Amino acid sequence: MNDVSGIDLNCGCPKPFSTSGGMGAALLTNPDLLCSILAALRNAMPPEISVSAKIRLLPTQEDTLKLVERIINTGVSALTVHCRTRNMRKTEKATIERLKEIVEFVEKMGKGIAVIENGDCLGYEDAKRVRDVTGQFLSLSLCDHMLIYFPQELIPL
């Protein structure tokens, strides 16, 4: 484990090669299995190795918050929320507005868990919009592009 700093369970992939095998976004329909996997990972890993999960939004915000609560209670270090449902694709606008309530909900749980935005954040203006809507500034979309976004210019890492 000397070369591992973290494990992320991707429960967001909607591609048939994942969902047909019960992986990816299929785990969203089986929260008992999803949470047992996360709890087992957390229990098996030393505390310095982070365990995180990436999810998609469920059709209702109420169901999403119930799932988020269960995931946070497994002991994860961070939660990434792809702001689309399982059936939505990149061509559909991410519903970033729903993330604000998730961030507030997780903060009220008082466990200091980071909530990371994913979806439709590809540049500085997008990052500002996400921050203004959600209070969050870290976005996996930004990390995926390996750029730091500043108003003056884009700086490759």
- Percentage, residues of the chain above pLDDT 70: 85
Q: What is the pTM of this model?
A: 0.84
> pLDDT at position 50, please?
94
Q: Out of 13, 35, 83, 121, which one is annotated catalytic?
A: 13
Catalytic residue check, 13 = yes
Instruction: Provide, rounded to the nearest whole percent, the portion of the chain with pLDDT above 90.
Output: 57
Report long-range pairs for 128-132 (Cβ below 8 Å, ≥24 apart).
Answer: 129/96, 130/96, 130/99
Instruction: Give the residue from 125, 116, 41 showing the smallest Cα distance to 82.
Output: 116
Which CATH code of 3.20.20.70, 3.30.1330.60, 3.90.1150.10, 3.30.1370.60 fits the domain covering 6-156? 3.20.20.70
Q: Where are the domains of the chain?
A: 6-156
DSSP annotation of 15: -
Could you report the per-residue pLDDT of 136-151, keeping only the tens digit for each?
Answer: 555 454 444 434 444 4
For 18-44, what is the mean pLDDT? 96
Quick one: pLDDT at residue 146?
A: 37
For 93-130, write each residue's pLDDT tens digit. 889 889 989 989 999 999 989 888 887 777 777 777 87
